[in-house]
Amino acid sequence: MKYHEFTLRLLLLAVAPLLIDCSSTANKAAVKPTAEAAVKSKPAVKPALGDDGEVDEYATAPDISDPLEKLNRGTFWVNDQLYTFLFRPISKGYELILPRPVRKGIDNAFENVKYPVRFVNCTLQGKFKRAGQETGKFVVNTVGGVVGIFRPAEKIPALANLPDEDTAQTLGKWGIPNGPYLVLPLLGPSSVRDTVGLAGDYALNPVNWPYLYWFGSRTKHDWVIVPPLSNTLRSIPGQLDKYDTITKEAVDPYLSARSAYSQSRAEAIKK
């Protein structure tokens, strides 16, 4: 396999957790992406009856425009197979090799490095106080938390539990609408607006800077692939847990995932 073909495939894997990450980390406490969330959403049309004669709580008008539903459902099914037969075994192996405290430290370090994503988008939204708090949090965790492996800033009330910010939230704050709902290969739920935002987050994340710099070079620099792949690997268990929470007990997993995604993004933009 040629080097560029190999790196392109790894790039697809490297960005896999980013979209779900954007829609979940900013709203961990406020959003409960379960079947209950879909039930509580106000239906825009009269609920339909399922095959068993009971009300199908998911048979309501879409809470986000979904003109490509047939295509999205097909992609959703393919993603589900990949999650089940590819990413889940990888996740289990990762959890088996590394104990929970080590995985937590790795997660903390990668989240700490995402400081530019949060700082830039706080600034673009005019949240200058929060941008300053993000800077303080980054300095405290980097210096006192051994490059972010530990999170001493969470013990400081002014720096604890700061909502995450991302480029899609900034676009939403600027009044740019969602656009059609999309299910992206590997990446999962998105919209036209959030897909653009994903590209912005990827460019702002220092983890990806070496790869972006060397991508297309004729000289081999395999080391630049390590950070994005490491970021993907450490994210897989948490993302699969969120996916299972959303879809496991759902009457229609596709509608449940769409509803949870739409609600979480709306709540994140309000913060």
For 222-267, the pLDDT digits (tens) are 667 777 888 888 999 999 999 999 998 899 999 999 999 999 998 8
User: Between vectors from CA 119 to CA 123 and to CA 103, what angle results, nearest 5°?
Assistant: 160
Average pLDDT, the chain: 80
Per the structure, the count of domains in the chain is 1
Best CA proximity match to 78, nearest among 184, 196, 213, 203: 184
pLDDT of 225: 74
34 occurs within a structural domain: no
31 occurs within a structural domain: no
Best CA proximity match to 39, nearest among 52, 51, 56: 56
223 occurs within a structural domain: yes
Query: Binning pLDDT at 50, 70 and 90, where does residue 22 land?
Result: very low
Distance CA 219, CA 215 (A): 10
3-12, 16-25, 101-110, 178-187: least confidently modelled range: 16-25
Please state, for a pLDDT cut of 90, what percent of the chain lies above it.
61
pLDDT of 215: 61
pLDDT: is 156 or 41 the higher one? 156
21-30, 77-86, 98-107, 123-132: least confidently modelled range: 21-30
207 occurs within a structural domain: yes
Tell me the pTM. 0.74
248 occurs within a structural domain: yes
137-151, 158-172, 215-229: least confidently modelled range: 215-229
pLDDT of 228: 80
Average pLDDT over residues 200-205: 93
- Indicate if the pLDDT at residue 204 is higher than 50: yes
148 occurs within a structural domain: yes
Residue 114 carries which DSSP code? T
230 occurs within a structural domain: yes
pLDDT of 230: 84
Residue 210, domain extent: 3-21+65-270
- Indicate if the pLDDT at residue 53 is higher than 50: no
What is the C-alpha radius of gyration for the chain, rounded to an integer number of angstroms?
19
Average pLDDT over residues 193-218: 82
32 occurs within a structural domain: no
Widest CA span in the chain: 63
